[in-house]
Amino acid sequence: MTDSAAAPQPLTVLSEEERMFQGAVRDFAEGAVRPLVHRMDEEAHLDASLIPQVFGLGLMGIEVPEALGGAGGSFFLAVLAVEALSRVDPSVAILVDVQNTLFNNCLLRWGNDEQKSRYCPKTCAEWVGAYALSEAGSGSDAFGLATRAELQGDTWVLNGQKLWITNGSEAQIYVIFATVDAAKGYKGITAFLVERGFPGFSVGKKEDKLGIRASSTTELVLQDCRVPAANVLGAVGQGYKVAIETLNEGRIGIGAQMIGVAAGALDAAVKYVKERQQFGQPLAEFQGVQFQLAQAATELEAARLMVYNAARLKDAKEPFAQQAAMAKLYSSQVAERVTSLCLELFGGYGYTKEYPVEKFYRDAKIGAIYEGTSNMQLQTIAKMLLK
């Protein structure tokens, strides 16, 4: 019989380390982030004081080994961090999410020893990272890239534009995908580590968005951008593998963001219906309200279990691509439903900026769009089912 100490934990059970970590992130979110949320949303700008704080808490290098300056934690811890931050403000959460599940993930998996020793200490201590795949003509068609890279001596010269790049304004280093040989199709795509200060690189237009407004979403402009050959991430022509495998983990991070958003809205609604009086009693006393909240809480718990399961599978080095797609798909659907319900429970107040639910409602929509639309998740799930 298997020793119970070695048996896998139920998904809802957190270890003492995980519980303490989650509590610390929640305390930070409530104490440092919540007072800034409304202003950051109005100004569409992340408060600069938060960036050194998330670095100081070790949230920007959760999975990076301690020898490289990171926290040496698990992917599951990164998911807990994103969920806890999203419960207060997903704009701050996505800063941490992209750093861990996309940029650091790319560098740890595909970088050589020299690249990791050169960049990991910086991205764990002070440098924000970003991930640049999308372009004007390549969204869901991720590999229809127009950005080109040409080798000139020991330098790659990149030309093109990237769009919808999260953390674009704050980042000091980017994983940028470009085609080195268009005739080879997706097998010509290559990933590059591009520093903000490289000649020919600039950050372009910042998007004015519906939700997650404090998170920067920008254009990147590459005009004869010179990148040392030593900064090719992975092998030349293997960029498509870098992108696909990285996005599988990124989708779990988006799932964590969506369950956090839904939980934040539900927290606010539960508090409100206990206080709001109508017809001589609190809204919480009406069975119709109770049943709606119960349904929302049930769907949220199901989404949370799917996200946690995908993260646990990843940490266990088990196949998780299908579960990641399912978790992102379902959690984004739940986030839209739950935030919409919560807004309605606030009545007319919910439609104003005086209460937090209208922001959660706006923030939820992006979950069905970025890091693979819901239709793309359905396609992935269907392919794996029918394989």
CA 180, 186, 187, 188: dihedral to nearest 10 degrees?
A: 0
Q: Is 301 considered catalytic here?
A: no
Task: Give the Cα separation of 266 and 348 in Å (integer).
Answer: 17
Task: Give the Cα separation of 55 and 122 in Å (integer).
Answer: 10
What b/e string do you get for 252-291 counting C-beta neighbours within 10 Å, with b at 16 or more?
bbbbbbbbbbbbbbbebbeebbeeeeeeeeebbeeeebee
Name the residue with tokens 């119960």.
Answer: 294
**Tokens of residue 13, six digits:** 């059970």
Give the CA distances from residue 268 to residues 173, 182, 184, 237, 343, in Å, rounded to whole numbers and listed in that order. Answer: 37, 51, 52, 49, 10
Sign of the torsion angle spanned by Cα atoms 362, 363, 369, 375: negative
Task: Give the Cα separation of 378 and 322 in Å (integer).
Answer: 10
DSSP annotation string for 174-203: EEEEEES-GGGGGGGEEEEEEETTSTTEEE
Catalytic residue numbers read 371
